[in-house]
Structure 1
Amino acid sequence: MVEVKLHDIGEGMTEGTIVSYFAREGDEVKRDQPIIELQTEKMVTELSAPVAGKISKIHIEEGQTIPVGTTILEIEAADNVNNEPENKNIEEVDNKQSTTTGPKRIKAAPFTRKVARELGVDIDAITGTGKDGRITVKDVESFSNGGTQIEEKQTSSTQEDVEFIPFKGRRKQIAAHMTKSLFTIPHVAHMEEIDMTKLLAYREDIKETYNISVAAFFIKALAMSLKKFPIFNAELDEENSQIKLKPNVNMGMAVDTKEGLIVPVINRVEDKSLRTIHSELKTLNEKARENTLQPQDVHGSTFTISNVGPIGSIGATPIINYPEVALMCFHKTKKMPVVNEADEIVIRSMMNVTLTFDHRVMDGGDAIQFTNYFKSLIENPNIMLVELSGE
Structure 2
Amino acid sequence: MIYLDHNATTAPSHAVLQAMAQAMAQHWANASSQHAPGQEARRCLAQARQQAAQALGCKPAELVFTSGATESNQLAVRGLLAGAPVGRRRVLFSQVEHSAHLALARSLVAQGVSVGWLPVRPDGALDLRAATELINPEVALVSLMAANNETGVLMPLAEVAALTRQAGALLHTDATQWLGKLPFRFDDCAADAVSFSAHKFHGPKGVGGLLLRQGLAFHSPVPGSQERGRRGGTENLPAIVGLATALSQLGDAGAVNAEARRQATLRDALEQGLAQALPELQVWGQGLARLPGTSYLRVGLLAADTVLQRLARLGVAASSGAACSSGGSQPSHVLSAMGVPREQALAAVRLSLGRDSTADDVNAVLQGLPALLAPLLHEAQACH
For the superposition of Structure 1 and Structure 2, which TM-score range results when normalised by the shorter chain? under 0.3
The structure in which a higher percent of residues are helix is: 2
Q: Which has the larger radius of gyration?
A: 1
The structure in which a higher percent of residues are strand is: 1
TM-score normalised per structure 1: 0.27
Q: Flag the structure with more relative contact order, 1 or 2, with Cα contacts below 8 A and sequence separation at least 6.
A: 2
